[in-house]
Amino acid sequence: MKTKTDFLIIGSGIAGLSYALKVAEHGNVCMITKANEDESNTKYAQGGIAAVMYSPDSYEKHISDTLIAGDGICDEEVVRMVITESTERVNELISWGAKFDKTSSGEYDLAKEGGHSEHRILHHKDNTGFEIERALLAAVHKHPNIKILDHHFAIDILTQHHLGIEVNSRTPGIECYGAYVLNLRSNKIETILAKTILMATGGAGHVYSTTTNPTIATGDGVAMVYRAKGRVEGMEFYQFHPTSLYNPGESPSFLVSEAVRGFGGILKTVDGKEFMEKYDARKSLAPRDIVARAIDNEMKTRGDDYVYLDCRHLDKKELIKHFPNIYQKCLSIGIDMMTDYVPVVPAAHYMCGGIQVDKNGCSSIKNLYAVGECSSTGLHGANRLASNSLLEAVVYGHRAALNAIEVIRNTNFCEAIPDWDAEGTAHPEEMVLLIQSLREVQAIMTNYVGIVRSDLRLQRAFDRLEILYKENESLYLTTTVSPKLCELRNLINVAYIIIKHARKRKESRGLHYTVNYPKGTDNE
Ligand code: FAD
Ligand code: SIN
């Protein structure tokens, strides 16, 4: 079965939804999403969205903070562009219905997070992402040109390869014509032809054993583009959030927002001693790579399973007002933030690298855009500044939309694309194989490619992953396609790219820390 659309969007988080609202004025939009329409990393964002709203903040300060967090390899032009568009894009989110908290004087109540020199995080209590997702979905539902197909899983994007033409990473002019999509209600694989395609599939936290990301975050977009020979960069920079709630057995891990530290929460070892001053003058509010590494070091040298976040000195009424969900979550496992320490550990949180795009969100593949966490724009460099990702998604959603609106005028559908060929794949999968392989990938990545790396660990990870790759590819070729099988394949691809990029970087920078090349040595 073939469907045609001007704009195909894969993913219904902030990136896909904000782009949809813009392009829908110029053509028909088909948005596919693999789970319920609101399920996304966006929905779980807590802290908020960074934007310059009032003095004493300024674009220059936000630019400087972003460049410092990125540890010398942000694209400064991109940083300037994104930050100077922040106010306009946030006001647009507000015009679409997103509500952010205000102070009694009517100004936005701006929070502070690690690496920010000013209060500049707009938030809706401690569930900002839920509010943004709600508002954008409501606006999208009202638009007659947008159709959302939930429980539709994108398997691969369509290129010349599907016309029988050999494509490799040096092939000039690779083009995207749409996607093969598994309809999870009918269990049929459909062909969606499109004039332009937006990849907005989010992150890949589940490549690690412990993550703050919901289960949809399996790196599907990056893997699809990599398989289609598009450019992917910066994958060695996987951000670990310093403070996920230590609650063994709970997956995904519940996040304790950095805004809690911005509000005065202090990190301590299990014997109640502060330790961050040993690592950085900004202490608990240093950029995330530094705080996560410090916690990891304290846990390893002391043999502890977690550190504490101490909030007992904070004003109870204000704490509950700002962080009602975090407070309730802690209470639900027997921790009262006002009287007890909160045990926290780092967890995989954000993919700084991804599908390489230019300032209009165009990937290296013609007619294929990438926006949001699956993309690599140059904004984050070696480490993302907190709350810059929701911002990046709306700025690039806007820019990609302006570009795609022009592109569809001169683009035709590629009618010659054949329907999916299921030849030879009649066997149902064996779940035990998939589950075991998934655990192995996550263990390899967590133990060898986590917060601290070494040449030997990366080599070992590479060798182990190769076995899993071969096993899974042969399974994929003979087995009926299912989301679990595809997600495992995608995670193996993503793990491979992370390891490959990490092995290439012969230095410690930002989130990529290796004991073989300590910070400050010149190893190029
Ligand atoms: P997502 O919101 O993840 O959406 C991806 C979409 O793609 C989903 O709808 C998914 O179902 C769909 N999808 C994926 N694969 C497929 C496929 N194969 N086929 C079909 N559909 C597919 N950032 C901030 O700036 N501020 C914060 O305060 C903040 N807090 C966070 C807290 C948590 C707990 C987490 C996990 C992240 C947080 N982040 C925060 C990061 C931020 O939420 C994400 O980077 C951002 O929401 C990503 O948006 P997105 O639209 O790119 O992807
Ligand atoms: C948080 O609230 O700590 C998450 C913010 C982010 O990831 O940007």
Q: State pLDDT tens for residues 359-372.
A: 999 999 999 999 99
- Give the number of whichever ligand sits closest to the CA of residue 205: 1
Q: Which of 100, 201, 376, 383 to mutate to test the pocket of ligand 1 (most atoms within 8 A of CB)?
A: 201
Q: In this predicted model, what pLDDT tens digit does every residue of 431-465 receive, in sequence order?
A: 899 999 999 999 999 999 999 999 999 999 999 99
Point out the ligand nearest to the CA of residue 36: 1
Per-residue model confidence (pLDDT) at position 521: 58
Q: Check if the beta carbon of residue 181 is closer than 8 Å to that of residue 152.
A: yes
Could you count the other beta carbons within 10 Å of the beta carbon of residue 35? 17
**60 in any annotated domain:** no
Distance of CA 54 from the midpoint of ligand 2 (Å): 21
Any domain includes 495:
yes
E strand intervals along 286-413: 307-310, 342-351, 354-356, 368-370, 375-376
DSSP 509: B
Contact 509, 71 (CB under 8 A): yes
pLDDT at 29 over 70: yes
CA of 348 to the centre of ligand 2 (A): 12
| Residue 166 sits in the same domain as residue 296 | no
Residue of 197, 384, 390, 489 to mutate, ligand 1, most atoms within 8 A of C-beta: 390
CATH code of residue 471: 1.20.58.100
Question: Of 284, 210, 274, 281, whose CA–CA distance to 240 is shortest?
Answer: 210
Among residues 477, 476, 500, the alpha carbon closest in space to that of 488 is found at: 476
Q: Which residues are 232's β-sheet partners?
A: 355
Q: What integer pLDDT is reported at residue 86 of this predicted model?
A: 98
Residue with CA at minimum distance from ligand 2 atom 8: 387
Could you list the residue range(s) of the whole structural domain that residue 262 is in?
242-346
Residue type for 222, please?
A: V
Give mean pLDDT, residues 333-360: 98
Same domain, 372 and 314: no
Query: Ligand nearest 490 Cα, by number?
Result: 1
* Confidence at residue 519, expressed as pLDDT on a 0 to 100 scale: 82
Q: How far is the CA of 58 from the centre of ligand 1 (A)?
A: 28
pLDDT band at 162 (very low <50, low <70, confident <90, very high): very high
- Residue with CA at minimum distance from ligand 1 atom 18: 154
Choice from 239, 240, 373, 387 to test ligand 2 binding pocket (greatest atom count within 8 A of CB): 387
Is the domain of 39 the same as that of 150?
yes
Q: Is 47 in the pocket of ligand 2 (CB under 6 A)?
A: yes
Output the residue whose Cα is nearest ligand 1's atom 29. Answer: 45
Domain membership of residue 141 (yes or no) is yes
CATH number at residue 12: 3.50.50.60
Are 505 and 478 within 8 A, CB to CB?
Answer: no
Spatial neighbors of 43 by CB under 8 A, at least 6 apart, are 13, 129, 130, 133, 214
Q: Strand ranges (DSSP E) for 184-235?
A: 188-199, 232-233
456 and 361 part of one domain: no
Residue 285: which CATH number? 3.90.700.10
Q: Is the pLDDT of residue 520 over 70?
A: no
Q: Compute the mean pLDDT over every residue in the chain, rounded to the nearest whole number.
A: 96
Q: Annotated catalytic sites, by residue?
A: 288
Say how many Å lie between the first and final Cα of the chain, rounded.
Answer: 52
The H-or-E segment that residue 192 falls in is strand 188-199
Residue nearest to atom 26 of ligand 1 (CA): 387
- Residue whose structure tokens are 């911005």: 262
Q: Is the pLDDT of residue 523 over 50?
A: no
502-514: per-residue pLDDT in tens? 999 999 999 999 9
Residue 336 and residue 358 in one domain: no
The structural domain count of the chain equals 3
Q: Residue 23 and residue 421: Cα distance in Å, rounded?
A: 32
In a domain, 116, yes or no: no
Mean pLDDT: which of 162-171, 282-291, 381-390 is highest?
A: 381-390
C-alpha–C-alpha distance, residues 42 and 184, integer Å? 22
For ligand 2, say whether the CB of 259 is within 6 Å of any of its atoms.
Answer: yes
145 and 41, same domain (yes or no): yes
What was the pLDDT predicted at 524?
A: 41
Could you give the CA distance from residue 15 to residue 98 in angstroms, rounded to a whole number? 15
| Ligand 2 contact, 257 CB (< 6 A) | yes
**Which of 346, 375, 392 is a domain's end point?**
346
Question: Nearest residue CA, atom 40 of ligand 1?
Answer: 45
Is 155 within 8 Å of 162 (Cβ atoms)? Answer: no
CA distance 365 to 490: 19
Residue 498 lies in a domain: yes
Any atom of ligand 2 within 6 Å of the Cβ of 387: yes
Tell me, yes or no, whether 150 and 22 share the same domain: yes
**Structure confidence by residue, pLDDT tens digits, 268-317:** 999 999 999 999 999 999 989 999 999 999 999 999 999 999 999 999 99
Q: How far is the CA of 44 from the centre of ligand 2 (A)?
A: 10
| Residue 281, domain member (yes or no) | yes
- pLDDT, tens digit, for every residue of 30-57? 999 999 999 999 999 999 999 999 999 9
Indicate whether 286 and 200 sit together in one domain: no
pLDDT at 426 over 70: no
Measured from the alpha carbon of residue 259, the closest ligand is 2
